[in-house]
């Protein structure tokens, strides 16, 4: 068999028709890392390793399933018979060896990521994902024939665990709202699997495989799948709405998307993505009730998954775009009182860096709960002028000169009733004199691990405009490696491994700091110091 034949057989065994959906799945946790653009260069290697781990294990799951099902797949009248043929062409022994290599490579990369990021939970996630993914097909577990165990193993190993893994690598944590979104996405995507199983019902029944349709009947399984999809989409949309509120709304992208308009846009995007798969599942359900079986040619499982993943990714892309525009002064929750205009800032003073785009937001309510009936006037003291627009709750402004500015917002309804509130914006220039660097040295004999923390000692002054880089003195370039510069809220954490066995002089770490307006400072820290 030539090289082309081998590649085609591998594509069939590894089920590369699912690749578009998996590429979209990867983008979702990346887009939800709202601070990613500010630190992407520093995390690019880690993200790349995480993506490689994801694909190695995903492809491994498909290959193991193809090997264990080779006899059953041969009896199918669907495309699965070609999967069995591809396994025979490549050879079960060769494929088993490939599985071992892929698993070892994934474990090695995961161990490196866990050590580099000091996130040992990553190893636990990979271990659990491997157990569920391999146990899905391999005896003695074979979760795919265990009824409810099928759903738990497949949903966790194929969707939930990989997305949480990627989210931790990118953000070094998992936000509860992002966890809720991943849960909703997992339920909606797994629900589509019931259509795929319904198509295999007859062959699975003859092979005595106790899949959910065989155990609980095709109509019952499809009914449960439809309910599960609705629940998953509801959680997905709800978490998107909550995340939108946390980043200041889609009005940051365009005024027309402010308030309820932005929420409706995300709702439409998600529903459009899942409308086709839902109709197809509903059609299968009716077919199963009327005929007692379904037509396998109707099932387009890979296409359904891609449609749902694409819609979710697009909604997350909108949130990503809104989040990266600049800092937000979030509006407080104000109880709605009909016909009485209200406006309120919270807090009543904020600190921002000169040159940073700032979204000033206020809660406004009038004859409609979203405040769309109100004329909103924004006035910033200092000669910036007045901004006026119907129903606009936020004002995007870039303060370039340090100082204290009073911002006044006035809302007026159609009857001439008015409400007003004020806040103070303290515009500061990031003072590099306030930045401190501490060093932590750990290691033995030939190597030491350095961890430096660069922190702005003035809490209210955001370090968002600060750029950090490092260099070394008394240390050749080939003696330090694994360098990472990671942003953690108000801190920058620098990690590096230094080979010190051949050094006569203690190396020094030179931390270079630069602000958006060109301020520079250089700080030298001895690698022998420890705090």
Span 27-80, pLDDT tens digits: 898 888 755 454 444 567 888 899 999 999 989 988 988 888 877 777 766 666
In this predicted structure, what is the pLDDT of residue 268? 94
What is the pTM for the complete model shown? 0.60
Q: Give per-residue pLDDT as tens, 130-161.
A: 998 888 888 888 787 766 677 788 888 889 99
Number of Cβ within 10 Å of residue 501's Cβ equals: 8
The conformation of residue 331, written as its DSSP 8-state character, comes to P
Q: How many CB atoms lie within 10 A of CB 506?
A: 13
Q: What's the pLDDT at 141?
A: 80
The most confident of 142-156, 310-324, 494-508, by mean pLDDT: 310-324
With tokens 């893994």, the residue in question is 165
pLDDT at position 493 is 63
pLDDT score recorded for residue 39 = 44
- Work out the average pLDDT over 512-529: 66
Interior/surface letters 187-218, b for 16+ CB within 10 angstroms, e for the rest? bbbbbbbbbbbbbbbbbbeebebbbbbbbeeb
Which of 23-37, 83-97, 437-451 bottoms out in mean pLDDT, i.e. has the lowest?
437-451
CA geometry: angle at 468 spanning 523 and 509, to 5°?
40
Q: How many CA atoms lie within 13 A of 341 on its CB side?
A: 23
- If pLDDT is split at 50, 70 and 90, which confidence band does 290 have? confident
pLDDT of 521 > 80? The answer is: no
Residue 471 pLDDT class (50, 70, 90 cuts): confident
Answer for the pair 410, 422: CB distance below 8 angstroms, yes or no.
no
Strand (E) or helix (H) holding 236: helix 218-246
Distance, CA of 60 to CA of 105 (rounded, Å): 11
**Mean pLDDT, to the nearest integer, of 211-235?**
89
pLDDT at 13 over 70: yes
Give residue for tokens 């030179």.
510
Q: Which residues are within 8 A (CB) of 165 and not within 5 positions of it... i.e. 6 or more apart?
A: 50, 53, 54, 122, 125, 126, 129
180 CB contacts (<8 Å, ≥6 apart)? Answer: 235, 238, 239, 242
User: Which residue has better confidence, 107 or 348?
Assistant: 107
* Nearest CA among 432, 433, 468 for reference residue 452: 468
């Amino acid at each position: 068999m030539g090289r082309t034949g081998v590649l085609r057989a591998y594509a069939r065994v590894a089920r590369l028709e699912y690749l578009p959906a998996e590429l979209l799945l990867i983008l979702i946790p990346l887009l939800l890392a709202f601070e990613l653009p500010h630190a992407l260069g520093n995390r690019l290697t880690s993200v790349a390793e995480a993506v490689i781990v994801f694909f190695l294990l995903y492809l491994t799951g498909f290959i193991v399933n193809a090997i264990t099902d080779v006899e059953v797949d041969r009896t199918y009248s669907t495309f699965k018979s070609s999967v069995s043929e591809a396994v025979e062409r490549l050879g079960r022994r060769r494929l088993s060896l490939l599985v071992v290599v892929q698993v070892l490579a994934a474990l090695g990369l995961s161990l490196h990521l866990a050590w580099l990021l000091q996130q040992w939970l990553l190893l636990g996630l990979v271990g659990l994902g491997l157990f569920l993914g391999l146990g899905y097909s391999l005896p003695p577990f074979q979760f795919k024939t265990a009824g409810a165990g099928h759903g738990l193993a497949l949903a966790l190993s194929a969707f939930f665990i990989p997305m949480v893994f990627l989210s931790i690598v990118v953000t070094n944590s998992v936000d509860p709202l992002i966890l809720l979104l991943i849960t909703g996405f997992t339920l909606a995507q797994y629900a589509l699997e019931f259509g795929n199983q319904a198509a295999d019902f007859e062959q699975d029944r003859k092979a005595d495989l106790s899949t959910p349709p065989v155990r609980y009947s095709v109509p019952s399984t499809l009914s449960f799948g439809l309910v599960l999809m609705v629940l998953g989409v509801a959680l997905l949309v709800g978490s998107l709405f909550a995340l939108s509120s946390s980043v200041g709304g889609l009005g940051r992208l365009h005024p027309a998307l402010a308030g309820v308009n932005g929420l409706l846009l995300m709702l439409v995007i998600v529903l459009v993505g899942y409308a086709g798969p839902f109709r197809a599942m509903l059609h299968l359900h009716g077919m199963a009730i009327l005929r007692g079986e379904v037509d396998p040619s109707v099932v387009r499982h890979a296409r359904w998954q891609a449609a749902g993943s694409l819609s979710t990714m697009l909604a997350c892309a909108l949130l990503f775009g809104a989040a990266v525009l600049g800092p937000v002064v979030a509006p407080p929750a104000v109880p709605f009182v009909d016909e009485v205009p209200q406006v309120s800032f919270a807090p009543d003073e904020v600190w921002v860096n000169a040159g940073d785009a700032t979204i000033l937001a206020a809660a406004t309510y009038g004859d409609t709960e979203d405040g769309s009936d109100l004329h909103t006037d924004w006035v910033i003291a200092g000669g910036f002028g007045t901004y006026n627009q119907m129903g606009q709750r936020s004002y995007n402004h870039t303060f370039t000169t340090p100082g204290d500015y009073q911002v006044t917002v006035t809302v007026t309804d159609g009857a001439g009733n008015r409400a007003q509130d004020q806040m103070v914006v303290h515009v500061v220039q990031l003072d590099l004199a306030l930045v401190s660097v501490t060093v932590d040295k750990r290691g033995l004999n030939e190597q030491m691990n350095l961890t430096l923390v660069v922190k702005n000692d003035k809490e209210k002054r955001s370090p968002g405009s600060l750029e950090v880089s490092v260099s070394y003195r008394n240390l050749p370039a080939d003696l330090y490696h694994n360098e990472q510069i990671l942003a953690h809220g108000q801190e920058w954490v620098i990690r590096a491994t230094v080979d010190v066995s051949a050094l006569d002089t203690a190396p020094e770490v030179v931390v270079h700091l630069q602000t958006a307006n060109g301020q520079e400072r250089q700080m030298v820290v001895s690698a022998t110091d420890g705090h």
